Structure 1
Amino acid sequence: MSISLIVLALLVGASIGLTLGMLGGGGSILTVPALVYVLGLSAHDATTSSLVIVGLNAAFGAWLNCRRGPCMLRHAFVFGGIGLGAAFLGARVSQYIPEVWLLTMFGSLMLIIGSMMLRPKVQAKTDEQAIAWPAVVMGGLGVGFLTGFLGVGGGFLIVPALVLLLHMPMRTAISSSLIVIALNSSAGILGHLQGSHFDWTLIGLIISGGVIGNLLGTRFAQKVQVQTLQRSFAFFVIALGIFLVIKNFPLA
Structure 2
Amino acid sequence: MEYLGYFASIIIGISLGLIGGGGSILTIPILVYLFKVNPEQATSYSLFIVGLTAMSGSYSHYKMGNLKLKSALYFAIPSVISILIIREVIFPQIASTLFSIASYSVSKDFLIMIIFSVLMITAAISMIRKNQPEIKGAETNYIQLSFIGFIVGIITGFLGAGGGFLIIPALLFFAKLPMKQAVGTSLLIISINSSIGFAGDLYIGTPINYPFLLGVSGMALLGMVLGSQLSKKIDGTKLKPIFGWFVLVMGFYIITKEVLF
Q: TM-score range by the shorter chain?
A: 0.7 to 0.9
Alpha-carbon distance in structure 1 between the residues aligned to 2:123 and 2:24: 17
The answer for unaligned runs of 5 or more in structure 1 is none
1:71 alignment counterpart: 67
User: Which residue in the other structure is 2:103 paired with?
Assistant: none
- Distance across 2 between alignment mates of 1:38 and 1:163: 35
Whole-angstrom distance in 1 between the partners of 2:119 and 2:31: 24
8 Å CA contact 2:78, 2:146 repeated in 1: yes
Cα distance in 1, alignment partners of residues 5 and 120 from structure 2: 27
Would the alpha carbon gap of residues 151 and 206 (structure 1) be closer, same or farther in structure 2, given more than 3 Å must change? Answer: closer
Aligned-partner Cα distance in 2 for 1:121–1:26? 16
User: Residue in 2 aligned with 1:190?
Assistant: 199
Distance 1:41 1:137, change over 3 A: closer
Following the alignment from structure 1 to structure 2, what is the Cα–Cα distance between the partners of residues 40 and 113? 24
Give the Cα–Cα distance (whole angstroms) in 2 for the partners of residues 36 and 70 of structure 1: 34
Distance 1:54 1:109, change over 3 A: closer
Secondary structure of 1:70 counterpart: coil
- After TM superposition, give the deviation of residue 59 of structure 1 in Å: 0.4
Q: Is the 8 A contact 1:139 1:165 kept in 2?
A: no
- Alpha-carbon shift at residue 71 of structure 1 (Å): 1.7
Distance of aligned partners of 1:238 and 1:73 in 2 relative to their CA distance in 1, 3 Å threshold: farther
For residues 64-102 of structure 1, what are the alpha-carbon distances to aligned partners after superposition, in whole Å with 9 as ceiling and x for unaligned?
A: 122235222222222211112233455638949875566
Whole-angstrom distance in 1 between the partners of 2:31 and 2:118? 24
Using the alignment, how far apart are the partners of 2:58 and 2:172 within structure 1?
Answer: 17
Equivalent in 16, 29, 37 of residue 20 of structure 1 = 16
The question of whether the paired residues in 2 share the 8 Å contact of 1:9 and 1:209 is answered with no
Which of 54, 60, 66 does residue 56 from structure 2 map onto? 60
Partner-residue secondary structure (3-state), 2:51: helix
| 1:63, distance to aligned residue in structure 2 (A) | 0.9
SS of the equivalent of 1:206 reads: helix
Evaluate the alpha carbon distance shift between residue 200 and residue 56 of structure 1 in structure 2; reply closer, same or farther with a 3 A threshold.
same
User: 1 CA distance for matches of 2:210 and 2:114?
Assistant: 33
* Equivalenced residues, count: 245
Partner residue of 1:133? 142
Which residue is equivalent to 1:207? 217
In structure 1, give the amino acid aligned to 2:28: V
Match of 2:43 in 1: 47
Q: Structure 2, unaligned stretches of length 5 or more?
A: 99-105
> Partner of 1:80 in structure 2?
76
Confirm or deny: 8 A CA contact 2:139 2:175 kept in the other structure: no
Amino acid at match of 1:155: G
Amino acid at match of 1:197: P
Alignment of 1:152-167 (within 5 A): 152-163=161-172, 166-167=175-176
CA distance in 1, matches of 2:175, 2:55: 22
Residue by residue over 1:19-47, the C-alpha shift from the partner in whole angstroms, topping out at 9 and shown as x without a partner, is: 22122223223223323432344445433
The answer to whether the Cα contact below 8 Å between 2:47 and 2:198 also exists between their aligned partners in 1 is yes
SS at match of 1:223: coil
1:143 paired residue number = 152
TM-score (norm 1): 0.77
Q: Answer yes or no: is the 8 Å Cα contact 1:58–1:178 preserved in 2.
A: yes
The structure 2 residue matched to 1:243, chosen from 234, 243, 253, is 253
Inter-partner Cα distance in structure 2 for 1:102 and 1:36: 11
Note the aligned Cα RMSD (angstroms).
3.4
Counterpart Cα distance in 1 of 2:182 and 2:59: 14
Aligned to 2:238: 228
